[in-house]
A and B are shown apart, each in its own frame.
Chain A
Amino acid sequence: MCQVEEDYRGQMERAAAPRLCFKDFFIHKFKAVLGKNRIIFPGEKVLLAVSGGPSSCSMLRQVQEGLSQKANKKLRFVPGVAFIDEGAAIGQSVEERQRTVAELQAVFQATGFPFYILPLEQVLDLPASVVATNPSPSEQPASAYKAAVHHFVETDGSNFPRPQEPKKTLLPRVQESHTLMLQQLLGSVKTLTAREELLNTLRQHLLVHTARTEGYSKLMLGDSCTRLAVKLLTSISLGRGAQLAQDTGFSDSRYGDIILVRPMRDYSAKEVAYYNHLFTVPYVVIPSVDTKTVDKASIQRLTESFVTKLQTDFPSTVSTIYRTSEKLQTACRKRSGADGCDRCLLCLCSLDTAVEEASAFQATLISDQLSGSKCLRGSAAETPRPGRPESPPPTAQCCSSAEGRGCGRAGSDGGCCSSAKLPETTRLKSLLCYSCALTVRDMSTVNHLPQYILSEAQRRQRRSQMREEISDFLLEDGDEGN
């Protein structure tokens, strides 16, 4: 790295030369990763998800630099910027949130790109289509990229949609009731680990929805190499091993029509911080749910602390983990059914909870049952609270839940049938992948989940019930022909 050269040049040469070398390398990496993967076509609309932190602001600056007139090998897409205001999640006051938003708004306006300030409360109003599986665009043959670039160069970019004048966006007003509902939702999550996971999911849903409604086909996330290394290890601890490739890879196509792209995955956090300092990239420090928490507060924090500590003594830690993640690929699985019943309700990755003989998942279920605790897919996550207004439903309804799983294991007496909402929790877990089910298990109640999640859950349950009912009459693939 260029920084090493500085040592040999000594302190006499406070010259710009080493810095320019570093800057060129930094910029080059960004373009190289986009060019190598050939996913972003010329003229495409790309939404940049900026959290205000160093990596995403650095990404914003790279896009700015790449699109500027004087750049050689100009980038060719049309960017927009989205920022999610999560002040409600950390209990910030309205004034504090407005101050942060105003700071960021100034930064975005300076770039000239259209930007969208999204309060996290907007997740409560999302439509159910966000979690419904969307068909992915047909696989473009590799030659399509070259043809598109060729065509673009031929027409001299005259058809290139000019970046629109940024509309004067007023800071959206947030209803206090929504803020309270959101805080209630986050408050119902018992562990910080699950809370961070849930926030992550909601954040992604909101970004994808914004991209869809505003006509963007790609979403750029600013995760740095260090972040992704931590995320990789965290995901394994959280039971997301099956989804690693999508969670940490360069491109993530789980949403079908919107593709998530991570162009900053080659940059370590240190490089980003150094670049931001040298070239005064503006960023805003916004506290998050795990700011100033102790190391053991959540699995994410613990892993981050582990990796960063290891990195000081063994500087190749992060890059080794990163190289490992590059080798992961998603196994192509046969998509079963057009109603997307094979996708997790929250994270939209393929379900990994088919209980096969002698699988690790089956072992987990068995040990859960044997240890006498509430079984993972069976009964209540709720303990009966005195004075609950709901009257207990007839036992039959609860214990003959659609999946027919044994409900009798409820550790807490009668906890199984204590509330009318119980079957909801039970059936919800069958629509989730292993780690999302763990997240939901850490929630005291699922009722505070945004409406779009609950209604989509009901829809899928109805579909699967219907499917079971008419299963005798359906022609399976193997039955065809004579």
Chain B
Amino acid sequence: MAASIAIHLEFGGGAELLFNGVKKHHVTLPSQSEPWDMKQLLVWIQRNLLKERPELFVQGDSVRPGILVLINDADWELMGELDYQLQDQDNVVFISTLHGG
């Protein structure tokens, strides 16, 4: 049984437009039997936070290409991408690189 964990989410680079313009979210993920991983977090975000146009944020299992994901300020590719297991007080940042120049 994994305890519920608190996660700090941030959206930047234009991604916040899909979340009502709110950049920072402090969320608590409910406890469940297996530890939370990024794949489940994305599903959770899509279900609970995403206000509009899910196809602009999520594509299939993963994020849409062009969205940079940082876990504790490190690129998620170095952490195992979707298989990374979340820990309490982790900081996950989604930055859209498709906007602006």
Which listed residue, B65, B68, B75, B99, touches A291 by the CB 8 Å rule?
B99
Residue in B14, B53, B95, B99 whose CB lies within 8 Å of A277: B95
- Tell me whether B65 and A278 are in contact (CB under 8 A): no
Contact B101 A273 (CB under 8 A): no
B13 / chain A contacts, CB cutoff of 8 Å: 54, 273, 285
Q: Is the CB of B100 closer than 8 A to any CB of chain A?
A: yes
Separation of A288 and B56 alpha carbons in the complex (Å): 15
Decide if the interface of chain A is mainly helix, strand, loop or mixed: helix
| Residue among A3, A285, A288 making CB contact with B75, cutoff 8 Å | A3
Q: Does B2 contact A (CB under 8 A)?
A: no
Name the one of A11, A283, A292 contacting B100, with C-beta atoms under 8 angstroms. Answer: A283
Inter-chain contacts of B68 with A (CB < 8 A): 270, 273-274
Interface residues of B (CB under 8 A from A): 12-14, 16-17, 53, 56, 65-66, 68, 70, 72-75, 78, 93, 95, 97-101
Residues on A with beta carbons closer than 8 Å to the beta carbon of B12: 273, 277, 285
Q: Shortest beta-carbon distance, A440 to chain B, in Å?
A: 25
Inter-chain CA distance A227–B93, complex, in Å, is 22
Closest residue on chain A to residue B62 by CB atoms = A312
Which of A132-140, A303-311, A324-332 faces chain B?
Answer: A303-311
Known contacts A56-B101, A270-B68, A308-B65: A7-B17 contact under CB 8 Å: no
Please name all residues of chain A whose beta carbon is closer than 8 Å to the beta carbon of B93 when the two chains form the complex.
277
Q: A274-B70, A292-B53 are in contact. Are A226 and B65 (CB under 8 A)?
A: no
Q: Are A312 and B65 in contact (CB under 8 A)?
A: yes
Q: Is A424 part of the binding interface, using a Cβ–Cβ cutoff of 8 Å?
A: no
* B78 close to A3 (CB less than 8 A): yes
A20 → B minimal CB distance (Å): 14
Chain B residues contacting A278 (CB-CB under 8 Å) are: 73
* Contact pick for B65, options A53, A277, A285, A309, CB 8 Å: A309
Is A234 interfacial (CB 8 A cutoff)?
A: no
With a CB–CB cut-off of 8 A, which chain B residues contact A226? 97
A343–chain B nearest beta-carbon distance, Å:
26
A to B CB contacts below 8 Å, 10 in the list: A3-B74, A11-B72, A14-B72, A55-B100, A56-B100, A273-B95, A273-B97, A277-B93, A277-B95, A311-B65
- Contact at B14–A291, with CB atoms within 8 Å? yes
> Would you list the 4 A-B pairs with minimal beta carbon distance, nearest first?
A53-B100, A269-B97, A308-B66, A55-B101
- How many Å from the CB of A95 to the closest CB on chain B? 15
Query: Is there an interface contact between B74 and A285, defined as CB atoms closer than 8 Å?
Result: no
Residues on A with beta carbons closer than 8 Å to the beta carbon of B75: 3, 274
Interchain CA distance A71-B74 in the complex, whole Å: 27
Residue of B nearest to A52 (CB): B100
Q: Which residue of B lies closest to A4 (CB)?
A: B78
**Do residues B101 and A223 form an inter-chain contact, with CB atoms below 8 A?**
yes
A287–B72 Cα gap in the complex (Å)?
Answer: 28
- CA–CA, A54 and B78, complex, Å: 23
B101 to chain A, nearest CB (A): 4
Interface centre among A6, A223, A277 (most CB of B within 10 A): A277
User: Any chain B CB within 8 A of the CB of A450?
Assistant: no
Assuming the A-B contacts A285-B14, A291-B17, are A270 and B97 also in contact, with contact meaning beta carbons closer than 8 angstroms in the complex?
yes
How far apart are the CA atoms of A222 and B100 in the complex, in Å?
10
